[in-house]
């Protein structure tokens, strides 16, 4: 899975995306100017291949939301839903389901297939990478709220990708810039960070994304980042937990991934560990190098998992943002989200300022 540079495809990108070894495109904020432009971009990507490339985005809410105006509702940080849980558990679950519905419906109306959400890391109060992206410190609260969010996404037909397995919330270092090391034992991780994945939630996830975190006291033998570890991905996630969906690597250009060598080494290590799709972001030169050299073969099991990836249903109300804006259940869900957002903005001046221009409905 690769990215593209701007608001429309270049000739070089069109050629690259037609390479059968490319399986998807991940979009970023730089790929978005307004609703019409985004729909044109996704339409162009979709028209390149049959079956079409998967179009994905990191769209969680809070500080990780790539599209915020003109057709997109500003979504609350997941920690806000966790805070609501303390006073109103059923209200928090309803709000989480509404957030999942709004998130998925607005993306689907713009031609996007998949969001890399929810974050299942625990809010341990120390991680620079996670912070307010996490629902809660209690793994059962995380599992319950995440399941509600995923259910809202499934109401639209969109798959969800839980991250960052087995857990990124306990390390202060940010794997975008550092190589985090979590010194805890396997039993501690199993009972805390992995607990949300042991919930019924795991059966509802279309995918899981592992962490670029090293767990030296939890893994037998020489430990490396979880995304390059067959122990974590094959033995624990696949065999012990029984996960049958897709495993997406995190971006292989993050600092936490560099321990596996050059780009071919990183992709090869991720593939051997059990990743089905490898994200190579923000370095088109490395994508070109990878395609010019040797990539791992795609096995039959990965092809089968890709073929069953849930995609947004072809409902008439998802045809475009204008159709979505006429759909009453979308408005009802959006009102729930805005109520939570108002609670969040009361304690966050930055969020309050964002509300004035970032919480308009689709269409």
Q: Which residues carry out catalysis?
A: 176, 250
Q: Identify which of 251, 354, 316, 220 has the alpha carbon closest to the alpha carbon of residue 26.
A: 251
Strand order in 24-27's β-sheet? 24-27, 54-57, 114-115, 159-165, 207-210, 246-247
Query: Going along the chain, which residue ranges are E strands?
Result: 24-27, 54-57, 59-61, 64-65, 114-115, 159-165, 207-210, 246-247
Residue 261 C-alpha from the chain's centroid: 25
Query: Going along 136-269, which residue ranges are E strands?
Result: 159-165, 207-210, 246-247
DSSP secondary structure of 83-142: HHHTT-HHHHHHHHHHHHHHHHHHHHTTT--EE---B-----S--TTTGGGS--SSHHHH
H/E stretch holding 281 reads none
H/E stretch holding 61 reads strand 59-61
- Could you give the angle at the alpha carbon of 279 between the alpha carbons of 318 and 25, nearest 5°? 35
Question: In 66-81, which positions are buried (b, 16+ CB within 10 angstroms) versus exposed (e)?
Answer: bbbbbbbbbbbbbbbb
Q: What are residue 137's phi and psi, to 5 degrees?
A: -80, -35
């Amino acid at each position: 899975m690769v990215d593209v540079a701007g608001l429309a495809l270049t000739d070089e990108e069109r050629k690259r995306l037609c390479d059968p070894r490319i399986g998807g495109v991940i979009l970023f904020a730089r790929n978005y100017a307004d609703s019409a432009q985004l729909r044109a971009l996704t339409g162009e990507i979709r028209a390149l291949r049959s079956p079409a490339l998967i179009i994905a985005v990191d769209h969680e809410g809070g500080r990780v939301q790539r599209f915020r105006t003109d057709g997109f509702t500003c979504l609350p940080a997941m920690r806000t839903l966790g805070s609501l849980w303390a006073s109103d558990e059923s209200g928090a679950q309803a709000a989480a389901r509404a957030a999942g519905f709004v998130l998925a419906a607005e993306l689907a109306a713009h031609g996007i297939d998949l969001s890399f959400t929810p974050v299942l890391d625990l809010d341990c109060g120390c991680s620079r990478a996670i912070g307010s992206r996490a629902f809660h410190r209690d793994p059962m609260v995380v599992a319950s709220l995440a399941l509600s969010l995923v259910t809202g996404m499934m109401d639209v037909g969109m798959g969800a990708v839980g991250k960052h397995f087995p857990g990124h919330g306990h390390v202060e270092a940010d794997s975008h810039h550092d190589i985090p090391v979590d010194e805890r034992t396997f039993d501690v991780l199993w009972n805390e960070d992995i607990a949300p994945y042991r919930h019924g939630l795991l059966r509802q996830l279309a995918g899981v994304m592992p962490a670029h975190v090293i767990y030296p006291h939890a893994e037998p033998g020489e430990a490396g980042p979880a995304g390059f570890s067959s122990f974590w991905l094959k033995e624990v996630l696949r065999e012990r937990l029984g996960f049958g969906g897709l495993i997406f690597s995190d971006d292989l250009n993050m600092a936490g991934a560099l321990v596996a060598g050059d780009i071919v080494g990183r992709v090869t290590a991720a593939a051997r560990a059990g990743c089905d799709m490898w994200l190579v972001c923000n370095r088109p030169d490395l994508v070109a190098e990878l395609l010019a050299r040797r990539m791992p073969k795609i096995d039959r099991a990965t092809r089968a998992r890709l073929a069953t990836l849930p995609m947004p249903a072809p409902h008439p109300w998802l045809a475009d943002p204008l159709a979505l804006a006429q759909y009453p259940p979308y408005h009802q869900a959006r009102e729930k989200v805005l109520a939570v957002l108002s609670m969040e903005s009361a304690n966050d001046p930055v969020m309050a300022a964002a509300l004035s221009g970032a919480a308009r409905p689709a269409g």
